Amino acid sequence: METQTYLFFNGRCEEAVDFYTKAVGAKVGMMMRFKDSPEPPPPDMLPPGNENKIMHMDMTIGDTTVLASDGHCQGQPSFDGFALSLIINDVAEADRAFAALSEGGEVTQALTKTFFSPRFGMLRDKFGVMWMVLVRA
């Protein structure tokens, strides 16, 4: 059994993947656009003009695979009730990743030394995804 995170960017998936590639070195694996699907989407699922949007893709961040899609392409994505935890072995890399992920977003807890980690901080990136960045103690 396995659990994987699946993010629906509501029309901003490609922009998000480009951002995560630069910010945290995400590597794209498989990517399928709606226009390349062997079966067309059900009527009214996808607004006209969104055939080039991403139906399904996977990206690897470190050792973890994250799945993503543009979903129904109907506006601003909503990511509430969870956070992606980015666990890093190096303080300098944590500082760099935190700064990159927070660009255009909102820092909710500054990256700082804590009793449980040399660096820990939280942010909501420009897509609304909550991140916790932590350096292994």
For the chain, the C-alpha Rg in angstroms (whole number) is 16
Q: Which helix or strand (DSSP H or E) is residue 21 part of?
A: helix 13-24
Tell me how many domains the chain contains.
2
Q: How far apart are CA 48 and CA 58, in angstroms?
A: 24
Kindly state whether residues 56 and 15 are assigned to the same domain: yes
Whether 76 has a pLDDT exceeding 90, the answer reads: no
Q: What is the pLDDT of residues 45-64, one digit of tens each?
A: 788 888 899 999 999 999 99
Range of the domain at 52: 5-69
Nearest one of 61, 83, 69 to 130, comparing CA atoms: 83
Question: Are 25 and 63 members of one domain?
Answer: yes
Domain-terminating residue out of 45, 69, 93: 69
State the pLDDT confidence band at 101, using cuts at 50, 70 and 90. very high
Q: What is the pTM (predicted TM-score) of this model? A: 0.92
| 4, 65 Cβ separation under 8 angstroms | yes
Write the pLDDT tens digit of every residue in 15-26. Answer: 999 999 999 999
Token representation of residue 124: 């909501």
End residue of a domain, out of 18, 41, 69: 69
Q: Does residue 21 share a domain with residue 65?
A: yes
* CATH number of the domain encompassing residue 123: 3.30.720.110
Claim to verify: residue 25 and residue 57 sit in the same structural domain: yes
Q: pLDDT band at 73, cuts 50/70/90?
A: confident
What CATH number is associated with residue 11? 3.30.720.100
Residues 95 and 46 in one domain: no
The residue-averaged pLDDT of 10-33 equals 97
Average pLDDT, the chain: 94
Judge whether 84 and 45 are in contact, CB under 8 Å.
no
Q: Tell me: do 63 and 93 sit in the same domain.
A: no
For residue 121, tell me if it sits in a domain.
yes
pLDDT for residue 47: 83
C-alpha neighbours within 13 Å on the C-beta side of residue 72: 9
